Amino acid sequence: MILDTNALSAYLDRTPEAVEIVSEAHGLAIPVIVAGEFSFGAAQSRHREEYERALERMLDRCAVLDIGIETARHYAAIRLELKRAGTPIPANDVWIAALSRQHALAVMSRDTHFDLVAGLRRRSW
């Protein structure tokens, strides 16, 4: 299962429902995009060091999904599908959706716009 930024934050903030889902997952993955978004948020926080340490612990525990040419092809296909349907979503989330398709993994997120991506399974809490 891929963790979106809001899922990673909920888990690290010990939101009970998010902790339960993550604890039951058979495998966890964090896209580099999510690591970047989380790092950006942490850099602006008064709890920066705590969040950075928590992210490092999660990165050690999870597969980190990088973007490659196969991901780029999925990105282009998804973006075109969404454009044709008149339902664009944020660019970073298109990359996350592309990784989801590439690796056939569900995305844990509260962002309902992931539901607009054909074939993507979203898990919420």
- Three-state SS at 116: helix
What CATH number is associated with residue 70?
Answer: 3.40.50.1010
pLDDT value of position 58: 94
If you search the block for the tokens 């995009």, which residue do you land on?
33
* Tens-place pLDDT, residues 28-50: 999 999 999 999 999 999 999 99
Containing H/E element for 21? helix 16-24
Q: Residue 48 sits in which domain range?
A: 2-123
Contact 105, 1 (CB under 8 A): yes
- pTM as predicted: 0.93
* Tens-place pLDDT, residues 73-116: 999 999 999 999 999 999 999 999 999 999 999 999 999 999 99
What's the number of domains the chain is made of?
Answer: 1
Measured CA to CA, the distance from residue 40 to residue 115 in angstroms comes to 25
Contact 3, 34 (CB under 8 A): yes
**CA 78, 113, 20, 9 torsion-angle sign:** positive
DSSP for 36-74, written as a single string: HHHHHHHHTSTTHHHHHHHHHHHHHHSEEE---HHHHHH
